[in-house]
A and B are shown apart, each in its own frame.
Chain A
Amino acid sequence: MRVNFTVNGRPQQADDVWEGESLLYVLRERLGLPGSKNACEQGECGSCTVRLDGVPVCSCLVAAGQVEGREVVTVEGLADFARQRAEGCGTGACGTSLQDAQLWEARPSHRASDSQTGEGTELSPIQQAFIDAGAVQCGFCTPGLLVAADEMLENNPNPTDADIREALSGNLCRCTGYEKIMDAVRLAAARQGEAV
């Protein structure tokens, strides 16, 4: 079957989709967006978390056919999404012209970033905080955690530790013991507070 939907503000079309395919598979294998991760494919790890019409969901449990006509934000689009939000677009999904959408790239070449390290890439505050706090080891859980943490800070800019733990309880990490992830979210919240 064919599925049309919007990913990171850009209209996308996937053809010859098998009816049992998940949104995760379509993103990773058909749209060249492997940032959302395939760690468990049973909704138990959160590594595949994306925003579906703004709501964080496990993309492994969304059937591809269910996203017809809907909007998805993945980790690849998180920096743009956060920037647009900061610029006053509440959902991060508005204000993209068709032309902009068609020119969208995961890491825009005009930002002159280093292809090996990604240096120079524009990051969202939560992405920067994960790097700065040492919250990334193998990094496989990172994309899902970033999407979940970003959404939490959008709704709860001053979370307590218990709030952070509850909001991220659907995202497993096997490397860090979560301490540096807590640090990263606290750091992003604090920076967000300073910026206001």
Chain B
Amino acid sequence: MPENGAPLGTPTKVTQGTPTKGGIGESTLRPDGVLKVTGEFAYSSDMWHEDMLWGQILRSTVAHAEIVSIDTGEALATPGVYAVMTYDDLPTDVKNYGLEIRDTPVLAHGKVRHHGEPVAIVAADHPETARRAAAKIKVEYRELPVITDEASATAPDAVLVHENRTDHHIGHVPHPNIVHRQPIVRGDADEAAKRADFVVKGEYTFGMQDQAFLGPESGLAVPAEDGGVDLYIATQWLHSDLRQIAPVLGLPEDKVRMTLSGVGGAFGGREDLSMQIHACLLALRTGKPVKIVYNRFESFFGHVHRHPAKLYYEHGATRDGKLTHVKCRIVLDGGAYASASPAVVGNASSLGIGPYVVDDVDIEAIALYTNNPPCGAMRGFGAVQACFAYEAQMDKLADEVGMDRVEFRRLNAMTQGTLLPTGQPVDSPAPVAELLRRVKAMPMPPERQWESSEGADVRQLPGGLSNTTHGEGVVRGVGYAVGIKNVGFSEGFDDYSTARVRMEVVGGEPVAVVHTAMAEVGQGGVTVHAQIARTELGVTQVTIHPADTQVGSAGSTSASRQTYVTGGAVKNACELVREKVLEMGRRRFGTYHPAWATAELLLEGGKVVTDGGEVLAGLADVLEGEAVEVEAEWRHRPTEPFDLRTGQGNGHVQYSFAAHRAVVEVDTELGLVKVIELACAQDVGKALNPLSVVGQIQGGTTQGLGVAVMEEIIVDPVTAKVKNPSFTDYLIPTILDTPTIPVDVLELADDHAPYGLRGVGEAPTLSSTPAVLAAIRNATGLELNRTPVRPEHLTGTA
């Protein structure tokens, strides 16, 4: 029970209440674990085929230019080269793709809009042959002025990144270089501001983060005898890929057969297509299997990044610490193509004030079209950028009011029933104050851990092995933050998933086979699906069928939605299978025992039992050699779009909350930071697999740490070219940069969701970054209104 007295929520219920070994709630181990530790798990880059060719992409060397000419003659004449294709070789009238807006050319048509845009593709018998041939393609560019920020995008004479837009946002945006705009107005922020005793304003900058998944974009396309193609690919959503690929190839969807291969991480970066269409085009053109693998350099150009943002905030509070109003303007740079920009705008605006009670708000979020690298989905999108800014504001305002920063947040924390700025009530537990209390209550890590009898252990100091300090200049700081993320696809999207579940008897044992198109990207969905099947069907043996397009869509592995939605679909399909099995049982054995008709029946331990525990029949006897199979779609409750003028609407399905406490040590003279500990408290509704849940929280937390202190794609403001496309200069945290991450998991059921669960993956990425920044501010006394913070920002040498 939190101190302010409100009930936290109800405990979680399990529908089929019988505990089955390996069922939900247990930390069962990954079904793919053994293959992954022996090196046998087949990732998309591991695919191999007799006689396969290697595909190579030629990318633009400039950010914005007309293509005057392309000469492929010399490349085509290179021995070992089987095909060279440009825009002119595309087989149908569909030459663009895109998640929501089809604005992205498969190959550049007359113009390139960002550095690294695909211009031509080559297939050859060895990757080096393909590279050399690609280098021989002569492309003549006539450079155009680059659009790089809001000012250059919306200037009266601005060059349009996309002429002749016909998408459904063009009608309501103030300028064609704005992809989407979402205002949200509730109450009267101007009027409320008059009641404020304290007002703080701030401008914040969020740098461009990369997903930096370790498995590069890759796949294998194999032409089939029926004129179709089989594609083995790492993606987050097979059916979304399929919908975009098939029309470009001029094939019906059933002739583009996709199978998920091993996915080496995703984090949003595989929502958009990368090499899928290129590999298929080359395979169909050459009649040979074609493999494409990006190297790390290319990967930085081959997928969208997290939107960098400028955020302008005004917060007000009364003398007693109650928030009066928030005004904010969030400008997201979507880069050259739309990708997920509209949804990012929706999240940033609707969650723009964070998990707080504010009745009077005035919010505007926009995403720009520029000539910077395209930006789209990355873990927590929209909400991540906003959280960085509003949490900095909350600290500032607490200081103005003269309250403890955590208590100030708790005083204003939303609870179940609070209205979001969109007017939507939060109709499930919202333990924001409790999470803050818990994270604050965790024991603090000891001071000066680096000291030892043998002197300073530099590995535990800022700078680490680089031996920059033995304690000099090192100051500790502590910071807190909390965030709110929507779970699932919002704004009226038909967010469904499909599961096919089959129960049969193999060797006398009942076995469940679960078949979905869910992309397992590492999150552990395959583990959880097996657990659900065990719980719902009372069997121990579950086989997870490889994900492919031979079953209906599972939606995207993103938005923290898969355990909820595909988990829900698996649960639903299992329930339908269970009903069928029980129906068979009643037909076969109903006359032998009255309980078949009168009792609540369960499947447990491979048997049909009554809720009183009486065994009625073994599943093997019930099934009698028959298999029961059900494929069914499952939807969470519907949402609605936000009003384009007021932003009002029940746009979200569910929320996920996490709070962090960061403890850092900063070498204040050199501006180097060592994060000592990042404690997290998160409500997960119901931890279907506690081990995986904690792993998700720790991983998300670490990505938030990365963008706090090191991760940024640096784009030259004059040329719009990427300056650090490598792991040498785009740094992600090593094990020496990552602290201990104690996690306190709270389980308060969301009664709308299967098992009461909440999506887990994204929330920890939100609050981690502002907590680290707050801790650095605490250590240094600096204002620090951009992330990542770099040594020059901490030493006045920027």
Contact = CB atoms under 8 A, between A and B. Distances in A.
A/B: CB atoms within 8 Å of each other? yes
Interface of A: 18, 20-21, 28-29, 32-42, 44-45, 47, 74-76, 78-79, 106-107, 113, 116-119, 121, 123, 127-128, 130-132, 134, 136-143, 146, 162, 164-166, 168-182
Nearest to B704: A177
**Most chain-A CB neighbours within 10 Å: which of B41, B46, B213, B214?**
B214
B699 interface: yes
Given A33-B39, A107-B38, A38 B732 contact: no
Interface in B193-223: 211-216
B35 interface: yes
Contact of B735 (A28, A44, A116, A165): A165
Contacts of B251: none
B214 A45 contact: yes
Contacts, number: 201
A134 B692 contact: yes
Interface residues of B, number: 66
Contact of B37 (A39, A119, A130, A175): A130
A117 B701 contact: no
Contacts of A118: 34-35, 38, 40
Contact of A177 (B212, B213, B728, B738): B738
Contact of B702 (A20, A119, A165, A178): A178
B38 A139 contact: no
Given A106-B38, A118-B38, A39 B215 contact: yes
A139 B32 contact: yes
B30 interface: yes
Given A45-B727, A75-B38, A177 B699 contact: yes
Contacts of B126: 18
B39 A35 contact: yes
Given A140-B265, A166-B736, A179-B694, 10 more contacts: A38-B45, A39-B216, A41-B295, A106-B38, A130-B37, A134-B695, A173-B214, A174-B213, A174-B732, A175-B265
Contact of B34 (A32, A40, A131, A176): A131
B457 interface: yes
A74 B39 CA distance: 9
Interface in B714-754: 726-728, 732, 734-736, 738, 740-741
B465 A79 contact: no
A180 B698 contact: yes
B785 interface: no
Interface string B689-715: 001101100111111000000000000
20 contacts: A18-B126, A32-B48, A39-B296, A42-B727, A44-B296, A44-B728, A116-B543, A121-B38, A123-B38, A134-B695, A136-B30, A138-B521, A165-B459, A165-B735, A169-B734, A174-B265, A174-B732, A175-B695, A176-B699, A179-B695
B135 to A, nearest CB: 14
A45 B702 CA distance: 16
Contact of A139 (B41, B459, B736, B738): B41
Contact of A39 (B31, B214, B734, B736): B214
B142 interface: no
Main secondary structure of the interface of A (DSSP, over half): loop
A107 B265 CA distance: 25
A47 B214 contact: yes
B698 A177 contact: yes
Contacts of B296: 39-42, 44
B267 interface: yes
A162 B459 contact: yes
Interface of B: 27, 29-43, 45-46, 48, 126, 128, 211-216, 262-267, 293, 295-296, 457, 459-460, 464-465, 521-524, 543, 691-692, 694-695, 698-703, 726-728, 732, 734-736, 738, 740-741
A77 B314 CA distance: 60
Main secondary structure of the interface of B (DSSP, over half): loop
A102 to B, nearest CB: 20
Given A106-B39, A171-B735, A38 B216 contact: yes
Given A29-B48, A131-B33, A139-B41, A175 B699 contact: yes
Nearest to A163: B459
A188 to B, nearest CB: 12
**Most chain-B CB neighbours within 10 Å: which of A37, A140, A170?**
A140
Contact of B43 (A21, A40, A116, A140): A140
Nearest to A77: B39
B214 A121 contact: no
B741 A177 contact: yes
Given A44-B727, A75-B39, A165-B736, A131 B522 contact: no
Contacts of A138: 213-215, 263-266, 521-522
A174 B214 CA distance: 7
A131 B30 contact: yes
A18 B625 CA distance: 56
Given A136-B30, A178-B702, A28 B46 contact: yes
B379 to A, nearest CB: 11
Contacts of B48: 29, 32, 34
A173 B695 CA distance: 12
A139 B699 CA distance: 13
Nearest to A126: B37
Contacts of A32: 48
A41 B695 CA distance: 27
A140 B264 contact: yes
A142 to B, nearest CB: 5
Nearest to A46: B734
A175 B34 CA distance: 18
Contact of A162 (B45, B460, B543): B460
A39 B264 contact: yes
| The 4 A-B residue pairs with the shortest CB-CB distance in the complex, in nearest-first order | A35-B39, A138-B522, A118-B34, A140-B264
Given A166-B459, A175-B699, A137 B37 contact: no
Contacts of B692: 134
A117 B46 contact: no
B542 to A, nearest CB: 11
B128 A18 contact: yes
